[in-house]
Every structure is written in C-alpha cells, then in structure tokens.
Chain A
Amino acid sequence: MTASGLAGAARGLAFSAGALLLALATAGLLLAAAGQDPVVSFQGMVETAFGSTYAIGNTIMKALPRLLPALGIALALRAGLWNIGAEGQIYVGAAACTAVALFGPLLPFPLGAGLALVAAMAAGAAWAAVPGVLRAYRGISEVITTLMLVYVAIQLTNWLIEGPWLVENSTWPATPMVPEAFRLPRIWPGTLVNAGVVVALFAAVLTGLIVTRTTFGLWIRAVGGNERASAVIGLPRRRLIVAALAASGAFAGLAGGVEVLGIRGRLLEGFSPGYGFEAIAIALLGRLNPAGIVAAALLFGALDAGAAGLQVASAGISSAIAPVIQALAVAYLLAGLGGARLIARRREARSALARAGAGDRG
C-alpha cells in the first residue's frame, strides 16, 4: 500500500471511530434521560460482549450473519449498485440450504454441508439477479426492486415454514432439525464458534481479491465509476450489472445458510431480525474495505451481544439501544464525511479563486 493510501485508510478509520464515540456518547445521554446510570449500563454491555471466552465467541457468532451480506453489499456498491435487499436474500438462502439438508441425499460432512451452502449461495444469487436483470435490460432502479423482493422472500419462507415444512409441537414456527451430518462443527472449545467463521473469513479475503486483483473486479469498478465510459470501451455492461448483483446476493444467501447449519440447526420464522439492513450500515462503516467491514461487523455483533447484558445491568431498559447506537454511528459518519467533503470543496474553490486573482494582477 502506498503512503497516501495508508494515510487515507487511517483517516477513514479515524472518521469511523469518531462517529462511534459520538454515538456511544449520545446513547449515554439517552440512557441517563431514561433514568439509568450510563456507566453501569455500558459496563454490563462490555461484560456480556467480551467478559469471557464464551462471551467473545458469542460476539463473533453475532457478527457472522451481518459480515457476509455486508461483503456482498460492498461488492455491488463497487459497481455502483445498491443491493438493499440482502435481508430477503438471507431468507431464500436459508430456505434453499434447509431444503437440501432436509430433503437431499444424506451425504457425510463436509460434502452435504458444502452442497447445502452452495445451494444457499445459488438461491441468494438468483434472488438478487432478478433486480439485476431488471436494471440491466429494462433500466429499472435496483433500489426499489431489491427492497420489494425482501418482503416477497420473507413471506415465501414463512409459508414454507408454516405450511409444507412445519414441524409438529414447536412453540415457534420452524422446520424439523437438519441431520447432524450437515451441521457446521464447533471449532473453539467452550464457545459457540463454528466452522462458519472460517467460511466468512475466506469470503472476506475473497471479496478483497476479487475487487483488487481480478479482471471482473476491475470491470465492475469501471462500470461503477462511469457507466457510459465503460460501455464505450466495450465492456459487457449489462452482464456485469447482473453478475455484480448476483455475486452480492450469493454472499447474503451464504449468511442464511451458515445461520441455519451453524447456529439454529433448522429454519426458524423471523430468524433474521434485519441483519441484511444492518449489513448496509456495516458496509459503509467499514468504508467498503474487507478488513474495515470485518471490524464493523464485529462491532455490531458486540453491540448485539452486549445488549442482552444491558437488560440485566439496568432493569427495564430495552435492548433496543443497540440498534440505536449502530444507526447513530453511521449517521454521524455520513454527516462527518459529508461535512469534510463540503469543506474540501470550499477550500478548493477559494484557492482557485485566489489563483485566478493572482493571475489577474500578474
């Protein structure tokens, strides 16, 4: 990495960290306004998120379903495409994965699990390819279509769970457990951390390599940078748009599969409480950079895990403060970046004016 690249990365990190601190401060004020001691509350959060080996493992596992879709969203954004429907792709991925594990051939580990995860990716990719085709061939904005498909995906999965796949005598709508051979094994004794972590880290490295080291990555960045120019130099622009959105959906679908095989062991109604939407915030907070996204996902995981401790530490306060902190951090980041951009532009304009003035005198 060049020196200026490093400086840019450090500056990006400083913005994200500053935004997070501001968000925590605001949340502290909110807690105080609700009659709680913020220090006690935050201590409870930190304890629950990092206080033991088990807690750290829990934080990591809560980061996973947010990390994978965020990597995909960042990939699509490189191509200038908004995949705001990752939430739906998570659900169809989970459903496809469950279908393979429940009704497919009973293959030994890792063949069966691998096949089920590939099915999850394929389903997520197919679901995201629809908005891709509509955008590429009919010019329909992917913002609305990816969003609409979220609710179609959730209802479709709900129907599968409550209808043909429903298990008897469950307190919450769910499918039967998948066979043991399909489950992702735990890899860190004393914690819930399973092999899904390896899959996710591999995915993070992979997206980094795709974007910076492959022709496909170069092409999608070209499409994202300037659509018209990329058409002029003869890139298959339409197919690239479909491919970028499909790849993005594959990561979200994989998140659904990892959640089923790794954590839940079956398909549960409403198992994703908005991971796909939080992932958009994570992709941004991580500044579209795989390492940054891993860090941001861990942060969101810690806040989610810590929120459980918050309820214990300060009775009566809802754990909803976690998403408040997450959203505030991104809002402050947006404001900070926007402000910095405006100041830079103003400074540029002023120096241009000064140069022009000097030219006049000379």
Chain B
Amino acid sequence: MDLAIPTLLVASAIAFAAPLIFAAMGELISEKAGVINIQLDGMMLAGAFTGTWAALASGSLLVGFVGAAAGGAAVAAIHGTLCLGLKADQVVSGVVLNILILGLTTFGIGAVFASDMGNAAPTLKPLPIPLLSDIPVIGRALFTQTPTVYLALLTVPAVWWLINRTTVGLALQAAGEAPGSARSMGIRVGRLRWAALIACGALAGIGGGQLVLAGLGTFTQNVTAGRGFIALAAVVFGRWRPVGALVAVLLFTTVEAVQVRAQVLGIELPYQFLVMAPYVATLVALTLFTGRSRPPRALGSND
C-alpha cells in the first residue's frame, strides 16, 4: 500500500488542528470557570487580524503571535466588562461580539492593510524534530510541523494539569459548578472568571494568528470561516475534558483533510456532508452522552 496519502492526510489533519486546539483549550478553561464564549470565532478572527498586523509592522513572528494573543484577549475583555462587570447575558454578548469583530476586521482590511496589499506577513516554517522526523510515515506527519503545532499539542496536557492537579484549577471548577459555595469558601469567583476568560481570549487569538502566520501570511475577510464554532463544538463533543476536546478536534480535522482531498481519494459523497459532519457528530454525541456528561452547572449564569 502506498503510504504517501495517509501520511499527507495525518500531517494536514494535525496542521489544521492547531488553531482549533488553541481555541478549544481556551474555551475549556473559560467554560470550567462558568463563562461561555459564543464569540470564540470572533476572538480567533481578532487574533488573526492583530497578529497579521503586528507581524507585518515588526517583521517578527514572535511579535505577531503576541499581537494575536492581545487581539483575542481584547475581545475577551469586552465580554468580561459586559458580562462579568455589568452582568449582561453571556449569549447576547457573544453573538453581538461576533458581528462586531467580523465587521471591524472587514472594515480594517481596507484601512490597515491597504498599503500592504500583496505584501504578506512573514510565515512560520516547519521545524522538523531531529531523529523523530526520520521515522517513516509518522515522522513526516507528526514531527515536521511548525513550532506552534507542537505548542498547541503541549497545551492539552498543560490545561489538563492546570484543571485537575492545581489548587487554581480546583477553584476554577468550583467557580463554574457552584459559585455561591465557592464564594463562601473564600474563593474569589469574579477574579478567577476574569483570569480564565482573558486566558481563553489569548489562546483563541493565538489560534487565529496561527491560521495566518503559519498559512498564507495575509489576512482575508472572515479568514476563520467559522472555525471558532467548530472549536466550541469540540469542547462539547469532548465532554469538557482536555483530551476529549483534542480527540474531537483531530476527528473533525481528519474529516476536513479528507474533504480537501476528496477528489484524489475518489470519494463520491458531496463535500457539504463532510463539512457538516462535526456539527452533526456533536449533536449526536450530546444526545447520547446525556446523563453521563454535562456542562459546568453555572455555565453562562451571572451568579
């Protein structure tokens, strides 16, 4: 059997996964603390925009990714001001922020990037890991990626450790499950939620930055194309667990990788059914898992 195609499929599934992993890990932290971010896609889009801008202005990729994190965190700060500060509804704020960021970044293409048209930002090159990248098949697929892909994969155990093995993580879960009891135990629920939300924004922003800075290097209108919603679905499909969310993301991006090469692979199924697969899978999973898994109890509430 020719191994070139499976290798390519796995390689691109992992590359596609990186932006979603960043965003999903951010959302997981935030949801554990009780804050839902319907505007996850807007956070990614903002990060992609400011990241491209920062990378173009500085010529440095590091500055670019810092800019991306700042862009996502800025959206998180607006969400926090409205929902945590002024107790507005998290769902409305999220929906409105998505509209706002899509509008602002589209408006900004002309205003910010007009002079840089055709002048792409620097982009990340793959960094083969010595020895490991020489392993047949998986070496090419797993260990010849951009450095940020490795970083994305590392966020999964990091977030797992944060949530399950640290006092901060336990306090975070208390804030999301029973904010009233958490408060009576001296946990500063508001402050924790703010921290989780900003971390979510920064991670989603980095995910958005990854889309551009490890891709074509140019920001285009709605460059995220709804990836934030897939990341949101991955958190639900993964039953609010870091490894679960990672598996969900990899499942979704494998389907995406197959869809991109459907013609080569001789797949007759209309591509629309592959595009909708993550959403259908999440709905089915939600239905089947009820009783065995559920979102944090105080998710989306302003208690």
Binding site for B on A (CB under 8 A): 30, 33-35, 82, 84, 134, 138-141, 143-145, 147-149, 151-152, 155-156, 158-159, 162-163, 274, 277-278, 280-281, 284, 316-318, 320-324, 326-328, 330-331, 334-335, 337-339, 341-342
Q: Which listed residue, A318, A326, A328, A335, touches B81 by the CB 8 Å rule?
A: A335
In the complex, chain B residues 112-150 whose Cβ is within 8 Å of any chain A Cβ: 114
Q: Which listed residue, A138, A140, A141, A323, touches B102 by the CB 8 Å rule?
A: A323
Check if B78 sits within 8 Å of A331, measured CB to CB: yes
Check if B280 sits within 8 Å of A152, measured CB to CB: yes
Bound form: Cα–Cα A134–B236 in Å: 15
Q: Which listed residue, B111, B232, B236, touches A33 by the CB 8 Å rule?
A: B111
- Considering only CB atoms, which chain A residue lies closest to B114 in the complex? A316
0/1 interface trace, chain B 261-290, chain A, CB 8 Å (1 if under): 000000000101101100110110011001
Q: Which listed residue, A139, A143, A156, A328, touches B100 by the CB 8 Å rule?
A: A328
**Range of interface residues on B (Cβ < 8 Å):** 35 or more
Bound form: Cα–Cα A281–B103 in Å: 14
Interface presence of B104 (CB below 8 A): yes
Check if A34 sits within 8 Å of B110, measured CB to CB: yes
Number of A-B contacts (CB under 8 A): 141
Q: Which listed residue, A141, A144, A330, A338, touches B87 by the CB 8 Å rule?
A: A338
Q: Which listed residue, A144, A147, A277, A338, touches B99 by the CB 8 Å rule?
A: A277
Bound form: Cα–Cα A33–B107 in Å: 12
Bound form: Cα–Cα A156–B270 in Å: 10
Given A316-B114, A318-B106, A335-B82, check contact A330 B290 (CB 8 Å): no
Q: Distance (Å) between the CB of B227 and the closest chain A CB?
A: 11
In the complex, chain B residues 140-176 whose Cβ is within 8 Å of any chain A Cβ: none
Q: Which listed residue, A144, A280, A338, A341, touches B95 by the CB 8 Å rule?
A: A280
Given A330-B96, A338-B88, check contact A151 B229 (CB 8 Å): yes
Q: Distance (Å) between the CB of B275 and the closest chain A CB?
A: 5
Q: Distance (Å) between the CB of B299 and the closest chain A CB?
A: 8
Check if A280 sits within 8 Å of B92, measured CB to CB: yes
Q: Distance (Å) between the CB of A61 and the closest chain B CB?
A: 21
Check if A324 sits within 8 Å of B104, measured CB to CB: yes
In the complex, chain B residues 66-115 whose Cβ is within 8 Å of any chain A Cβ: 78, 81-82, 85-89, 91-93, 95-100, 102-104, 106-107, 109-111, 114
Bound form: Cα–Cα A19–B143 in Å: 52
Bound form: Cα–Cα A321–B105 in Å: 10
Q: Which listed residue, A30, A84, A274, A338, touches B86 by the CB 8 Å rule?
A: A338
Check if B279 sits within 8 Å of A152, measured CB to CB: yes
Instruction: Among A316, A318, A327, find the residue whose CB has the most chain B CB atoms closer than 10 A.
Output: A327
Bound form: Cα–Cα A16–B38 in Å: 23
6 pairs, CB–CB < 8 Å, chain A vs chain B: A84-B95, A145-B286, A151-B279, A318-B110, A326-B99, A327-B99
Residues of A within 8 A of B82 (CB): 331, 334-335, 338
Residues of A within 8 A of B279 (CB): 148-149, 151-152
Check if B283 sits within 8 Å of A149, measured CB to CB: yes
Interface presence of B298 (CB below 8 A): no
Instruction: Among A148, A159, A330, A338, find the residue whose CB has the most chain B CB atoms closer than 10 A.
Output: A148
Given A159-B270, A284-B92, check contact A144 B232 (CB 8 Å): yes
Given A139-B290, A145-B283, A321-B107, check contact A155 B276 (CB 8 Å): yes
Q: Distance (Å) between the CB of A209 and the closest chain B CB?
A: 26
Check if B272 sits within 8 Å of A159, measured CB to CB: yes
- Considering only CB atoms, which chain B residue lies closest to A279 in the complex? B95
- Considering only CB atoms, which chain A residue lies closest to B42 in the complex? A327
Q: Distance (Å) between the CB of A240 and the closest chain B CB?
A: 20
Given A139-B290, A318-B109, check contact A152 B276 (CB 8 Å): yes
Interface presence of B196 (CB below 8 A): no
Residues of A within 8 A of B36 (CB): 143
Check if A138 sits within 8 Å of B287, measured CB to CB: yes
Bound form: Cα–Cα A353–B72 in Å: 42
Check if B295 sits within 8 Å of A327, measured CB to CB: no
Interface presence of B233 (CB below 8 A): yes
Instruction: Among B111, B295, B300, find the residue whose CB has the most chain A CB atoms closer than 10 A.
Output: B111
Check if A323 sits within 8 Å of B99, measured CB to CB: yes
Bound form: Cα–Cα A30–B100 in Å: 13
Bound form: Cα–Cα A54–B269 in Å: 45
Check if B287 sits within 8 Å of A134, measured CB to CB: yes
Bound form: Cα–Cα A34–B111 in Å: 5
Interface presence of B226 (CB below 8 A): yes
- Considering only CB atoms, which chain A residue lies closest to B276 in the complex? A155
Q: Distance (Å) between the CB of A342 and the closest chain B CB?
A: 7
Residues of B within 8 A of A330 (CB): 92, 96
Residues of B within 8 A of A152 (CB): 276, 279-280, 283
Q: Distance (Å) between the CB of A143 and the closest chain B CB?
A: 6
Residues of B within 8 A of A84 (CB): 38, 91, 95
Q: Which listed residue, B38, B99, B275, touches A278 by the CB 8 Å rule?
A: B99
- Considering only CB atoms, which chain A residue lies closest to B226 in the complex? A151
